[in-house]
Structure 1
Amino acid sequence: MAQYLKDEVQENIAAAALTVFARKGYESATMAEIARAARISTGNIYRYYENKDALFYAVVDEGFARSFTLLLRRRVKALDGVDDMSTLAPAAAYHLAAEELLRFCIENRLRVVILLGRAGGSRYERFAEDTVQSLIQMALDHFRCFRPHLEVTETMRFNLNQIYRSFLGTMVSALESFEEEAALREAIHGYSKYHLAGLRSFFA
């Protein structure tokens, strides 16, 4: 019974930490705020986690960050050799990979918000920007398959930075704005269609 209660308290702290970190960010969140959200004393929280760092990296660990990156890359790479998405069958690799990423984001909504938008001051501070640069490179590699002589100008790279920062920012906003799965799916599907159509037009 004692172990069960201890596990329950620890799970309660982790859930409260996710809520506070997602709302205030790593830098601004305090252990006292997390304790209040978990409805325990600040002193009690230190029985489970040595400090804010230990708690933060317990709820958003490196394995989670790697999984997100892997799923995102899998979604993008599934478009290799595809110039027109409208030709893809519902069971095409891209749609399966997109669903896998979306399901991961839905099931880990607050963790993704923290990783992409609230990680300033942590070891994930550059995660979103590094993801943007990775997406840009994958987009260039993809479109060079169809346009081998594609010239990447300074203005093109500037625009791609804005496009992909907006893409990740919109993903964070959708995850923050909608808790119901149906609404979240509709928001992300709608923006993804706009994003992919815009990219194809951009490289035309």
Structure 2
Amino acid sequence: MPQRLKEELRERLLAAAAAVFAVQGFEKAKLADMAELAGTSTSNIYKYFTDKEALFHEIVTPALAGQLLRLLRARVRELQSIGNWLEADAAGSSHARAQLSFWIEQRHVVLILLRGAEGTRYAHVRGLMIGEMLRLAARYVAERQGPEALTPLLRFMLARTFTRTMDTIADTLAEYRDAASIQAAISLFWRYQLAGLQSLLNPQQQQGGVSTAGPGQSSE
């Protein structure tokens, strides 16, 4: 029985710490706030974890950070071969569903990686995600319109768009906690974002119709 109680307290501490890190970020997070949320004393934290950093690394792991990036890459690469991007939401895309499910199941971890990892080994993950989206979008444009189409202005706008994408995902996960609300909010965001991106990256597309050509293919 004592061992079970110890394990329950450890799990409460991890849950409380994840919530505090997600809201405050690693650098500003306080052990006292975590202990209060877990219903225990700060001294009890040190019975399970040596310091705040050790506690953080119990919550945010290389496997979870890697999964976040892999799902992003799969999602963006899929868009390169889909004709109508508006169909690439959670209802029409297995990659979109997998990505959304991960965001919901690992809500606190995703929030931390997107805006609360400064001061940790994961501080670069947000920038890496933005850079990956920019790289794949640039390749998409170059394949369809030629390298000359990738102007400094377009690169700038894409970089700002993808930065805002990270902010919107984080804001959504911070505002909503239940799966249904997150799904509804992300669905609305994707409807707006995917239409805008397809128009920006594929301006030759005829309004009222969609091109089904894949990379390097002609739709004629």
Give the TM-score, by structure 2 length. 0.85
Checking the alignment, whether the CA contact within 8 Å between 1:113 and 1:175 is kept in structure 2 is yes
Q: Secondary structure at the match of 1:47?
A: coil
Specify the alignment match of 1:23 in structure 2.
23
TM-score w.r.t. structure 1 length? 0.92
Deviation per CA, 1:73-97: give whole Å up to 9, x if none. 11111223223235779986xx001
Aligned residue for 1:154? Answer: 152
The one-character-per-residue Cα deviations of 1:28-71 (angstroms, maximum 9, x if unpaired) are: 01222211211111111001000110000111111110011111
Distance apart, 1:145 and its partner CA: 3.0
* Residue equivalent to 1:62: 62
Structural mapping, 1:96-175, within 5 Å: 96-175=94-173
Q: How does 1:67-82 map to 2 (within 5 A)?
A: 67-82=67-82
Q: Report the CA distance between 1:115 and its aligned residue.
A: 0.8
| Equivalent residue letter for 1:167 | T
For structure 1, list consecutive stretches of 5 or more residues without a partner in the other structure: none
CA distance in 2, matches of 1:121, 1:56: 11
Greater displacement, 75-84 / 174-183: 75-84
Residue 188 (structure 1) aligns with: 186
How many angstroms apart in 2 are the aligned matches of 1:132 and 1:170? 13
Residue type matched to 2:81 in 1? G
Q: Supply the RMSD in Å over aligned alpha carbons.
A: 1.9
**d(CA) in 2 for partners of 1:177, 1:120:** 21
**Larger Cα-atom Rg:** 2
Q: Does the Cα contact within 8 Å between 1:17 and 1:55 map onto a contact in 2?
A: yes
Deviation at residue 189 of structure 1 after TM alignment: 1.1
Decide which moves more: 21-30 or 134-143: 134-143
Unmatched runs of 5 consecutive residues or more in structure 2: 204-220
CA distance in 2, matches of 1:82, 1:171: 23
Percent of aligned pairs with the same amino acid: 33
Give the CA deviation at 1:151: 2.8
Deviates more, 1:169-178 or 1:71-80: 71-80
Going from structure 1 to structure 2, the CA distance change for 1:54 and 1:88 (only over 3 Å counts) comes to closer
In structure 2, do the counterparts of structure 1 residues 87 and 104 end up closer, same or farther at CA, with 3 Å as the change threshold?
Answer: closer
Q: Deviation per CA, 1:172-204, whole angstroms, max 9, x where unpaired?
A: 011111112222111101111211111111121
Please report how far the alpha carbon of residue 13 of structure 1 lies from its aligned counterpart in structure 2 after TM superposition: 0.4
